[in-house]
Amino acid sequence: MAAEGGHAVVTGGAGFLGSHLCECLLRKGYRVSCLDSFATGTPRNVARLESRPGFRLVQHDVTDPFPDVGRAALVLHLASAASPKDYARLPIETLRAGAIGTANALEFAGRHGARFVLTSTSEVYGDPLEHPQRETYWGNVNPIGPRSVYDEAKRYAEALTMAHHRQYGADVGIARIFNTYGPRMRADDGRMIPNFITQALAGEPLTVAGTGRQTRSVCYVDDTVAGLLALAESTVPGPVNIGNPHELSVRHIADEIRALSGSRSPVTSIPGAVDDPRRRCPDISVALSLLGWQPEVTLREGLRRTIDWFAAERGAAA
């Protein structure tokens, strides 16, 4: 188990989730080394942490051998493109981050006897045929479709993590994260929530893909980070679903954002994405029973905070 207050290495720490995680770890008394290539993240996300004692930002691509950042108690491996638009643009890089990057991160953790936490994804369930998705479900993934570079990289990363656990007794935890949203998502990362908020604030049409009846279960970033930390500070190998079980249609989420932002934008239909999962909803009973974790922030509250942040960013850029 990771010693509280030890040295945590966060790969992908300058991304959306990673920057919130670094902040939370510092608050809990960890020293934090953030390794990031800035492929989809930016140093701006952690700029206000740089003056904090115990925080270090290192530009590093995880597909290269890890630099000597000192003895670590915890390695949290987040480095990977995560939005469908990003991994469509970076297909080989995404496969390499999941495969070679995960191998390097596991090797680094093993050398330090550190606990290793992999941020896997609900995408390992693909277009699921079971609802809600429990960790025992093996998934329904198209291995050669446009999403496969992400889905299969994460499935390989999970397999590699479990192989290290079984073969070397590595201390590991696998989190299967479901759609998470909040401040510091990139306005142009192509994901549903930043797209809808940016469109609503600009008075442009909200682009709902396909019928809009496909579902997602969206979790506010503070809740996801709390779940990741609970897993990191446990000895649970997982996999453990970390997500909000409140399942909603994409159209409903668009309507909610439009209403909460006081926008008069119309909602328009665009072609559906290839291999787009039709339903997604986590069963979180494992997280609740083994980690005592469940999300606390309501959709309205989470969306309000996120809309406020995007509005402030727009104001600052104007």
Count the Cβ atoms, other than its own, within 10 Å of residue 230.
19
Q: Among ligand UDP, ligand NAD, none, what does residue 263 contact (CB within 5–8 Å per kind)? A: none
Residues binding ligand UDP (CB under 6 A): 83-84, 179, 191-192, 195, 207-209, 214, 216, 250, 273, 276
152 binds ligand NAD (CB under 6 A): no
**8 Å CB contact between 137 and 130:** yes
C-alpha distances in Å from residue 86, one per residue of 186, 202, 270, 279 = 11, 23, 19, 22
Q: Among ligand NAD, ligand UDP, none, what does residue 79 contact (CB within 5–8 Å per kind)? A: ligand NAD
CA end-to-end span of the chain: 47
**8 Å CB contact between 124 and 155:** yes
From residue 69 to residue 88, the character string flagging contacts with ligand NAD as x (rule: CB under 6 A) and all else as - is ---------xxxxx---x--
Among 22, 30, 32, 36, binds ligand NAD (CB under 6 A): 36
Nearest distance from C-beta of residue 288 to ligand UDP, angstroms: 23
Q: Among ligand UDP, ligand NAD, none, what does residue 293 contact (CB within 5–8 Å per kind)? A: none
Between 161 and 179, name the residue whose CB sits nearer to ligand UDP: 179
Calculate Rg over the CA atoms of the chain. Answer: 19
Between 104 and 148, name the residue whose CB sits nearer to ligand UDP: 148
Between 121 and 199, name the residue whose CB sits nearer to ligand NAD: 121
How big is the site for ligand NAD, counted in residues (CB under 6 A)?
29
Among 2, 10, 32, 39, binds ligand NAD (CB under 6 A): 39
Nearest distance from C-beta of residue 221 to ligand NAD, angstroms: 8
Nearest distance from C-beta of residue 216 to ligand NAD, angstroms: 10
Nearest distance from C-beta of residue 178 to ligand UDP, angstroms: 8
Q: Among ligand UDP, ligand NAD, none, what does residue 192 contact (CB within 5–8 Å per kind)? A: ligand UDP
Cα distance between residue 89 and residue 261, in whole Å: 30
3-state secondary structure of 238: coil
**Binding window for ligand NAD (CB under 6 A); candidates: 14-22, 192-200, 260-268, 284-292:** 14-22
Among 9, 32, 41, 299, binds ligand NAD (CB under 6 A): 41
Where residue 182 falls (left for φ over 0; alpha for ψ -120 to 50; beta otherwise) is left
C-alpha distances in Å from residue 56, one per residue of 38, 114, 127, 150 = 15, 18, 39, 28
3-state secondary structure of 3: coil
Residue ranges of the alpha helices (H) in the chain?
Answer: 16-27, 84-89, 91-96, 102-112, 148-168, 192-202, 221-232, 250-260, 285-286, 299-317
The residues annotated with a catalytic role in the active site are 150
Residue 242's closest CA among 83, 121, 82? 121
**Token duo for residue 32:** 């934090």
Nearest distance from C-beta of residue 281 to ligand UDP, angstroms: 12
Nearest distance from C-beta of residue 180 to ligand NAD, angstroms: 4
Burial (Cβ within 10 Å: 0-12, 13-18, ≥19) of residue 300: exposed
The site for ligand NAD (CB under 6 A) is made up of 11-12, 14-18, 36-41, 61-63, 78-82, 86, 97, 101, 119, 121, 177, 179-180
